[in-house]
Structure 1
Amino acid sequence: MKSLIINLTNTIRILYVLVIYLLIPYLKNPIKPKTNKPISKPYRKIEVDTELPIVETIEVPNYKELLKQYEHKHGKPLKPINRRKKINFPKGTKCPYCGSPKEYIYTNNGSKGQCLCKVCNNTFMLGSNLNKKTISKCPYCGHTLEKTKDRNSFIIYKCKNDNCKYYQNKLNSLTKEEKEIYKSNPGKLKLRYIYREFKFSLASLNPNTPNRPKIDLAKAHNPLNVVGLIMTFYVNFGLSSRTVSRIMDEVFSIKVSHQTVLNYAQATAYYLSSFTKDHIKDLSSKLCGDETYIKVKGKWRYIFLY
């Protein structure tokens, strides 16, 4: 009996040591439970530069004409680039100014994407629009703007000249705390001139928006007074479609699905758009912005609009 108690005591001690050993990693790095709530991040406030960039028209002849001019001037043809090592350019790469093929294109700054055309002596970034007719320059220093981001609806250009008047004034106006933030995380502060080039044109926008609805209110299953009541809860009170559906069922004993509420809202907006588009109020010179989180394909995404 005594030996049994001793064995049990030793077993308990071993289990205790194992438990402590297994708990140490968890105590140092506790596992955080997954949450479906969006993470609130302190994004910087929206700043829009009012000065438009300087747009210059480029008139560069075709590279074949430039090759003929070079041969006529120097008495020998311009040779393609003799590379020391092979460079894998994207398929179809050519100079956006003169159209010269990749055999005449240098990698101007290594792997950072800037190229130099040997024929027309112009620099450009890989992926630039072909047959480029204009260039945008900073209105404060005249430096050519560089494309930094290419989104679905717009392209962001930035002036990267460290001697730019706009950049220097912003840099000198920083406090000590802001300078420390800028050193650790430059993206939190906007110091350089930025220009957004939107890809859509006014002609492509359909004036008869919103699109034609899926249902016809004249043939709706519910009478128009019920449709008006549903729109009162959905639009005036800002309730969700599911909440409106529940109110109609529990309070008025009318069975309406949440999808029907959305269809009624789309159809109502379509018919009311012709009455509201001609009553546009005078706009002020102020720009208003807002930010929020939306769920896209099961993941929370940050979005701002102005």
Structure 2
Amino acid sequence: MNSIISVLVAYNQFLLAQIHQLLLFIVKNIPIKSPKYDAANPKYNKLTVDRLPIIKKPEKLDYKQLLRDYKLKHGKELKPVKSRGKNPVPHDVVCHRCGAPHIYLYDNTGGRGQLLCKVCGLRFNKDKKDFKIGALVCPYCGRILVKKKERKYFNIHKCVNEKCPFYLQSLKNLSPEDLEEYKKDKHKFKLHYIYREFTIDYFKVDLSTMPKGCVNLTFRNFSPHVLGLCLTYLVNLGLSTRATSRALWEIHGVKISHVMVSKYAKTAAALVQPFVDNYDYKPTNYLAADETYIKVKGIKHYVWFIMDALKKSILGYRVSSTRDVGPCILAMRMAFAKFKEFPGKALKFVSDGYTAYKLAQQQFMLKGMDFDLTQVIGLTNDDPVSTEYRWFKQIIERLNRTFKRSYQVTNGYGSGEGSNTHVSLFVAYYNFLRPHSYTYWQPLNSIPELESIPNMPGKWQKLIELSQQFILSRQTA
């Protein structure tokens, strides 16, 4: 008996020693918890957005005043340049800083483009036009950025200085394996400072457009109640146009085609949208943003939502065929327009880690609208930022799921107008008609004219009537 116990104790000690060796191996070679997203990793550098460049605006001088000052100082006039080279300065070229004519300009590089002004001492390129309005300068080393690529809506400027502190630090962060790969394929890494200059002004784009296919609401074959029924089945219950048409016939005995249901929806969306977009929501300073995908004619499109994280109202929305910064800026413009006075740094704007929000923030900063952007990355709380702001993401993801339930029955949209119509009506329903548990099963925004109406078709009719009155008041004003 004693021999069996001694054997078991020895075997137990052997197992404990093996476990100890395995734990040491795990600690040394396998990280117990690795972050899902490491911003310092060069593989994710292309997902980051660099800070804004410095716009270098040269001092504007008057060459006539400089010539007078030279005469007072030296007691003689400044003589023009006597060109002896084979490439004289063209007569139409003037100094970019003081405006001195060609007779005061040297050909500084033997016809290769650089000129030197004898009056103010400026060296400049005669073919470089953007020097007149200002040059983009790297904020780390002070070198002028070089335009590398021209895209459809923006240009890419890059700092090519090999001694730039930003580049040297990025190079220092590379591991030995990444450094060897960088020497072979440099295009896979983003180590230099990069700035995207947008060539289209998204702040001048009209946010309200009338969809095609609208009809006159002078009812002949149907009544306004039928319109309310169409919107109730189509938007509230999330039925398709064909299912709505069938429900009206089988339940109410109303013979209406699915095409007419679609036209009613487009007309209602065109009327309701100005009222919804210009309603005084009295938003708080906590906004959440996210994008979700839809299908239009089988092609992936995107819907951008920006909502008040405390009051739950949808403040900005946009349907786009691309997932770039343009639609993001338009949705943010729509949301920021709800503020009577922009809160600035008091605004807490939370989104996911997509770079379009960071680029949009830079464009708003250029317009004097600075605010704090917090990006919650990943699905778990691996950092203090995610732990503090995770509830923003949960709220906006809940909105996406609610929208998807009404979208999925459509099996994708058949046209761009159809997608815009459905999203506009969904926002109107979500903000003014849908009961929410957050408000004890009442609408998010209370309108006294709608509270006294007992049924949903009547509420839709009244909302359209209020929208018509709003449009007439705006036209009169």
Q: TM-score, normalised by structure 2?
A: 0.37
Q: Do the aligned partners of residues 215 and 140 (structure 1) sit closer, same or farther apart at CA in structure 2, a change above 3 Å counting?
A: same
Q: Do the aligned partners of residues 98 and 271 (structure 1) sit closer, same or farther apart at CA in structure 2, a change above 3 Å counting?
A: same
SS in 2 for 1:270: helix
Q: Which residue of 2 aligns with 1:209?
A: 207
Map 1:1-306 → 2, pairs under 5 A:
45-50=46-51, 52-63=52-63, 65=65, 77-79=79-81, 84=86, 95-99=95-99, 104=105, 115-119=114-118, 120=120, 121-123=122-124, 126-129=127-130, 131-132=132-133, 134-149=134-149, 154-198=154-198, 205=204, 209-211=207-209, 219=217, 223-231=227-235, 244-248=240-244, 254-256=257-259, 260=263, 264-275=268-279, 278-279=282-283, 282-283=286-287, 304-305=324-325, 306=356
Q: CA deviation at 1:58?
A: 2.7
Distance 1:288 1:184 in 2: 37
Instruction: For 2:259, give the aligned amino acid.
Output: V
Q: Do the aligned partners of residues 276 and 178 (structure 1) sit closer, same or farther apart at CA in structure 2, a change above 3 Å counting?
A: farther
Q: CA deviation at 1:255?
A: 2.6
Structure 1 residues 218-273: Cα deviation after superposition (integer angstroms, max 9, x where no partner) = 8276613313543458xx79xxxxxx455555666633279745565454433311
Structure 1 residues 190-240: Cα deviation after superposition (integer angstroms, max 9, x where no partner) = 2122234556779x547x83245668788276613313543458xx79xxx
Structure 1 residues 50-90: Cα deviation after superposition (integer angstroms, max 9, x where no partner) = 4x434555323134555666788685533276553699x9x
Alignment check: 8 A CA contact 1:100 1:117 kept? no
Q: Which residue of 2 aligns with 1:35?
A: none
Alignment check: 8 A CA contact 1:245 1:256 kept? yes
Q: Do the aligned partners of residues 184 and 82 (structure 1) sit closer, same or farther apart at CA in structure 2, a change above 3 Å counting?
A: farther
- Alpha-carbon RMSD across the aligned residues, in angstroms, is 5.3
Q: Do the aligned partners of residues 85 and 135 (structure 1) sit closer, same or farther apart at CA in structure 2, a change above 3 Å counting?
A: closer
Q: State how many pairs are aligned.
A: 242
SS in 2 for 1:167: helix
SS in 2 for 1:279: coil
Distance 2:180 2:261 in 1: 51
Q: CA deviation at 1:169?
A: 0.7
Distance 2:150 2:209 in 1: 28
**Bigger share in helix:** 2
Distance 1:93 1:162 in 2: 33
Alignment check: 8 A CA contact 1:171 1:191 kept? yes
Q: CA deviation at 1:105?
A: 7.4
Distance 2:147 2:193 in 1: 12
Q: Do the aligned partners of residues 275 and 76 (structure 1) sit closer, same or farther apart at CA in structure 2, a change above 3 Å counting?
A: closer
Q: Do the aligned partners of residues 45 and 193 (structure 1) sit closer, same or farther apart at CA in structure 2, a change above 3 Å counting?
A: closer
Distance 1:194 1:79 in 2: 40
Alignment check: 8 A CA contact 2:211 2:266 kept? no
Instruction: For 1:122, give the aligned amino acid.
Output: R
The percent of aligned pairs where both chains have the same amino acid is 24
Distance 1:180 1:263 in 2: 61
Q: TM-score, normalised by structure 1?
A: 0.53
Q: Do the aligned partners of residues 199 and 172 (structure 1) sit closer, same or farther apart at CA in structure 2, a change above 3 Å counting?
A: same
